[in-house]
Amino acid sequence: MQLKVKEELFDEPTCEHNIQKKEKKACKTAVPGSSTGGCALDGAYIVLSPIRDALHVVHGPINCLGNSYNQRTSESKGNETFYMYGMTSSINENDLIFGSEDKLKKGIVYAVNKFNPKGVFIYNTCVPALTGEDIGGVARELTEKLNIPVVPVQSQGFSGGKNLGNKIAGDALFEYVIGKKEPNIDILTDYNINLIGEYNIKGELFLIKKALSDNGINLLSNITGNATMEEIMYSHKAGLNVVVCSKALVYLARKMEEKYGIPFIEESFFGLSSTNNAMLHIAESFKDAKLIEKVKKNIESKTKIIRKEIEPYKKFLTGKRVLLYTGGVKSWSLISALNDLGMKVIATGVKKSTEEDKNRIKEFDANGNIIMLDNGNPVNLIKMIKDEQADILLAGGRNQYTAIKSLIPFLDVNQERSNSYTSYEGIVHLGRQIYLELNSPVYDVIRKAN
């Protein structure tokens, strides 16, 4: 049985459970009997499925995929958009008994012949992992036969949660994709960077890319929003890795540093000061006085423009109290964005945050009174909002209706968000959306009625 994922994946120096205990245990596994988050498959699929010219085949019963495909708002511009298709081997009872490796092979060969992709990702799920199917073998065989990379992703759900899945996906990219191709010389400039963990939700990548190119920085590869297989294959040629989703893919950045000597920094593009800092840190990494000068100039002029644009919102939002309940990197990066808008974060969720994330939170926490919320089950969240007199909840879709039922204004900042919040334009969107939400007359209508 292929039950275990790589031991190494559980070894995360930045995780508290690694520091505190000597045993290597996956990031917090879910507690039986309480509400749950996504699984390793969910995490892996989120990371890899934005690669738009590869096929993404989930090897499992119909619904690991059936419940989840096409449900993230990763956007893409390009000819091939295979991530729009959900593909699965759809294991049924017979397959379970007689094995389904052949079915999987046939299915992939069929799809590759029809769609002509540049690569294939096979995602493992609980059932074939339990029955001991060898997707690694299938992938090896098909790589030779089809002449494109076929990548096995050991993302069986019982291994752990979303974060582990992110790591598994990063590991698969590192093992099977990165470094397999050299870039064309004319796409390289003096300052080449990769973004790691940017999934182009609602086109956020396009905003970041614009800000980067304004500063003369070349985005060589984006892992993985709007990415092509080719671009990830030659990502090892970058001079710097910028990790924008710290928990999930810092593992990949570390591996790339070990193997290719690419330094990495962790940055956030949420908010004005964060975006400015990110640009500056990138420039400083290249140790190039001319670039730093240029970036500083740009920052100055951009800051003026954006400050002016968010002024009307900021006037209204100053002093308003926010409860932030979201995952990993956003637990600190959004604090900075909200501070830019003059708002006061009273608590932030740290269920999926690393020690590093927590330290970052402290950095942004001027008075040291942001509460770190570890258990955000609906009942807890509502209680905290009432106790702390929060004006608005910023969280993900699963808590949206809980908040609304309690007449608490809500804004979705997770993957289903309906606006792009990164980079310079993003902060204006964020200010506007929070302003609109807090000003919605609809809550008053009901409050008066009660």
Partner 1 sequence: MAKMTKEEVRQTKDWMKTEEYKELNFKRKSIVINPERACQPLGAVLCSAGFEGTMPFVHGSHGCVAYYRNNLSRHFREPIAAVSTSLTEDGAVFGGQANGFEGFKNCLNLYKPKMFAISTTCMTEVIGDDLGAIVNNARAKGFLPEDVPAPYANTPSFVGSHIDGYDNMLAAIIDTLGVKSESVSDAINIIPGFDTTTGNINEIKRLLTIMKVPYLVIADYSNTLDSPLNGEYKLYNEGATTLEDTKNCVNNKATIALQKFSTKKTIALLADKFKQEAKAVKSPVGIKFTDEFLMAVSEITGKEIPKEIEDERGRAVDSMTDAQQYIHGKKFAIFGDPDILTGLTSYLLEMGGIPKYVLCSNGNEEFKNDVEALLKEYGCDEGEVYIDKDLWHLHSLVMTGPVDMLIGPSHGKFVAREAGVPHIRLGYPIFDRVNIHRYPFYAYSGVINLTTWIVNKFIEIVDETSDDAHFELLR
Using CB under 8 A as the binding rule, the residues of this chain from 346 to 375 that contact partner 1 are: none
Tokens 């710097």 label which residue?
A: 240
**Pattern of binders to partner 1 over 379-418, x per CB under 8 A?**
x--x--------------xxxxxxxxxxx--------x--
Our finding on whether 70 is near partner 1 (CB under 8 A) is yes
Shortest Cβ 53–partner 1 spacing (Å): 8
Pair 384, 325: CB distance under 8 Å: no
Q: How far apart are CA 57 and CA 70, in angstroms?
A: 13
Shortest Cβ 36–partner 1 spacing (Å): 4
Our finding on whether 145 is near partner 1 (CB under 8 A) is no
Using CB under 8 A as the binding rule, the residues of this chain from 16 to 55 that contact partner 1 are: 26, 29-42, 53
Q: Which position among 17, 73, 80, 371 is part of the footprint of partner 1 (CB under 8 A)? A: 80
Using CB under 8 A as the binding rule, the residues of this chain from 217 to 246 that contact partner 1 are: 228, 230
Choose between 159 and 420: whose C-beta lies nearer to partner 1.
159
Shortest Cβ 342–partner 1 spacing (Å): 27
Shortest Cβ 168–partner 1 spacing (Å): 13
**Pattern of binders to partner 1 over 278-297, x per CB under 8 A?**
--------------------
Choose between 23 and 289: whose C-beta lies nearer to partner 1.
23
Q: Which among 85-93, 277-285, 307-315, 346-354 is the span making contact with partner 1, rule CB under 8 A?
A: 85-93
Shortest Cβ 271–partner 1 spacing (Å): 27
CB atoms within 10 A of CB 77: 11
Q: Which among 104-112, 271-279, 286-294, 350-358 is the span making contact with partner 1, rule CB under 8 A?
A: 104-112
Our finding on whether 92 is near partner 1 (CB under 8 A) is yes
User: How far, rounded to the nearest angstrom, does the alpha carbon of residue 362 sit from its chain's CA centroid?
Assistant: 22
Q: Which residues of 86-125 are buried (b: 16+ CB within 10 A; e: fewer)?
A: bbbbbbeeebeeebbbebbbebbeebbeeeebbbbbbbbb
Our finding on whether 434 is near partner 1 (CB under 8 A) is no
Choose between 106 and 259: whose C-beta lies nearer to partner 1.
106
The runs of H, that is alpha helices, within 133-202 are: 135-146, 162-176
Q: How far apart are CA 253 and CA 195, in angstroms?
A: 10
Shortest Cβ 185–partner 1 spacing (Å): 17
Our finding on whether 152 is near partner 1 (CB under 8 A) is no
Shortest Cβ 30–partner 1 spacing (Å): 4
Using CB under 8 A as the binding rule, the residues of this chain from 303 to 332 that contact partner 1 are: none
Choose between 93 and 261: whose C-beta lies nearer to partner 1.
93
CB atoms within 10 A of CB 70: 11
The runs of H, that is alpha helices, within 180-288 are: 204-214, 229-233, 246-260, 272-285
Our finding on whether 143 is near partner 1 (CB under 8 A) is no
Q: How far apart are CA 49 and CA 39, in angstroms?
A: 15
Q: How far apart are CA 146 and CA 397, in angstroms?
A: 40
Q: Which among 12-20, 158-166, 195-203, 301-309 is the span making contact with partner 1, rule CB under 8 A?
A: 158-166
Q: How far apart are CA 353 and CA 248, in angstroms?
A: 10
Q: Which among 56-64, 199-207, 263-271, 360-368 is the span making contact with partner 1, rule CB under 8 A?
A: 56-64
Choose between 113 and 367: whose C-beta lies nearer to partner 1.
113
Q: How far is CA 176 from CA 69, 102, 149, 301, in A?
A: 23, 22, 7, 43
Q: Which position among 48, 54, 57, 220 is part of the footprint of partner 1 (CB under 8 A)? A: 57
Q: How far is CA 173 from CA 23, 166, 168, 236, 339, in A?
A: 26, 11, 9, 11, 36
Q: How far apart are CA 16 and CA 354, in angstroms?
A: 7
Nearest to 46 by CA among 204, 155, 149, 152: 155
Our finding on whether 438 is near partner 1 (CB under 8 A) is no
Q: Which position among 27, 47, 51, 87 is part of the footprint of partner 1 (CB under 8 A)? A: 87
Phi, psi of 254 (to 5 degrees): -65, -45
Element (H, E) at 393: strand 392-395
Mutual angle of helices 162-176 and 40-48, in 10-degree steps:
50
Using CB under 8 A as the binding rule, the residues of this chain from 120 to 139 that contact partner 1 are: 125-127, 130-131
SS3 69: coil
Choose between 90 and 433: whose C-beta lies nearer to partner 1.
90
Choose between 104 and 135: whose C-beta lies nearer to partner 1.
104
Q: How far apart are CA 8 and CA 227, in angstroms?
A: 27
Tokens 């490796």 label which residue?
A: 101
